[in-house]
Each structure stands twice: as structure tokens, then as C-alpha cells.
Amino acid sequence: MTETLQYPLKYAAKYHRYGMSPSKGMLLYGPSGCGKTLVAKAIANEVKSNFISVKGPELLSMWFGESEQNVRELFNKARGAAPCILFFDEIDSIAKKRGSGQGGGEAGDRIVNQILTEIDGVGAKKSVFCIAATNRPDMIDPALMRPGRLDQLVYLPLPDLASRLSILKSCTRKSPLAGDVDLDALAEIMDGFSGADITEVCQRSAKLAIRQHIYDFESGIPSTSACREINKAHFDSAMLVARKSVSAADVKKFERFRKSIQIQK
């Protein structure tokens, strides 16, 4: 990501010397809740670039030709704010495979054609970069992922042990934690949890602590004995109702897609 985004802006002269054109786009794919949108915002902050975020369904319209016009206006806005990162969230909703009948027939095909045309035209300024995110990469039109368009495919998997620990620390950095809370142990038992699942557990444990604090206050329990921190019991209760939003079958599906892309390369 650093080479794809930062180098063309920071070392433009070197790209010109070696006769290389910067990439126009990147596709972030992976299970739901793994931080694809957050990564895109972090990238924009790192490169100190303008950032325009749009969800795929926002471009759709019931009127003939208006969806294509929305796409054109979006890219014109990005060119006017260059250098700019244009981020398409849920790209699978507007860029389904043409001719499959899943994208609303001819209307869906016209939107895909307009997006492809605009991405090809972005290269005139070389200061507008497109990032798309999806958790259904198998539904996207292959022409969108061909070299010269969204050719940088980045897989964001489920967080590993170190990532889960970092997420737990980030979610609880402003929360009062009791001494019996072991974040390292929690990170180990949360294997298979996405970032959104871990955040939900932290929020639920905080709600349980708030509920107990209010109950102690209304019951007249002295403030020295009342609940004032999130303890291990709150996390244990939250884990009892915790759920994994990503199944093992979903993970295997993404791994198969990733291997198929590597074989094509």
C-alpha cells in the first residue's frame, strides 16, 4: 500500500525516470468486519490526500441515465480535489458481472461500463486513486480487476493474535479496567473473531459494568464498594453471548479466491 500510494506522490520524478505509470486503483477484499473501510481512511491520512467516500448503493437511481450521471459527477469531483483518493465501499452492489442479470439487467451493465470508462480516464492527471472494498469479490466484474484498473488486490484476513490484542487495547484504552482483566488471555480465546466482533464484546462488557454501577447506586451501596470498573466477570458474561460474524466456510471461500488470483498472475 505504501508503494502504491505514497511513492507516486513522493517520488514522482523517479517514476518518470523509469518510465513507469502509477497504479490507478486497489481492491480491498476480505471477510466482513475486518476493517477494510478503516484501512482506506488510514491510507488517506498517511498520504495527506483528500478523501471522498461513497457507498455503492448511493450511486443507484430509479431514473434512466441518472446512475451513470452520478458516477461521472463523482469522478469530476475527485479530479477537482486532486490529489484525491476515491473510495468505493460495497463495490459489489454496483459492479456485478455484466450479463449475469444480477446487477439490474441493462441498467447495472451501464453503470459498470461508466465506472470502467471513468477509471480509464483518471490516468490523465495521475492524481486520483480509486480504492474499492468488498466482501464478495467473486461477484465483481472481472474487467474491473484487470491490470490498469483495480489491479492491486489486497486481502484483509481475520486478525491474528497480535492484531486481536491491539484491537482489544484500542477498544478499552478509555475504559477503566480492573486488575483481573487479562487482555492477552482474551485475545487468545477470540480466535476467529473479526475486528467488529471484538469491538462488540468490549462494548457489551462496558454496558454490563454500567448496568451494575447504576444498580449499586440505586441500591444504596457505598461508593467504595460499588462497581467502578470493568472486571473479568463482565467480559465473561459478554463472551457467553458473543458471536462470530464470519464462518469457517466464508474464510475458505476467500482463500480459494486468493489462490485463484495468484494462479492467474
- Find the largest Cα–Cα distance for the chain: 75
Q: What is the mean pLDDT of residues 116-139?
A: 80
Say what the pLDDT of residue 265 is.
Answer: 54
Say what the pLDDT of residue 122 is.
Answer: 63
Say what the pLDDT of residue 102 is.
Answer: 53
245: pLDDT strictly greater than 80: yes
2-158+251-264: CATH number: 3.40.50.300
Q: What architecture is domain 161-245? A: Orthogonal Bundle (1.10)
Q: C-alpha cell of 19?
A: 518510465
Q: What is the mean pLDDT of residues 35-64?
A: 82
Q: Whole-prediction pTM value?
A: 0.81
Q: What is the mean pLDDT of residues 189-202?
A: 92
Report helix angle 195-218 to 232-240, nearest 10.
Answer: 120
Say what the pLDDT of residue 258 is.
Answer: 83
Q: C-alpha cell of 201?
A: 464484546
Q: Do 195 and 165 contact (CB within 8 A), yes or no?
A: no
Q: What is the pLDDT of residues 130-154, one digit of tens each?
A: 899 998 888 888 888 888 888 888 8
Mean pLDDT over each residue of the chain, to the nearest integer = 84
The residues of the chain that CATH labels 1.10.8.60 are: 161-245
Q: How confident is the model at residue 172 (pLDDT cuts 50, 70, 90)?
A: very high
Go through the chain and tell me how many residues it has: 265
Cis-peptide into 157, omega within 30 deg: no
The residues of the chain that CATH labels 3.40.50.300 are: 2-158+251-264
Q: Do 184 and 169 contact (CB within 8 A), yes or no?
A: no
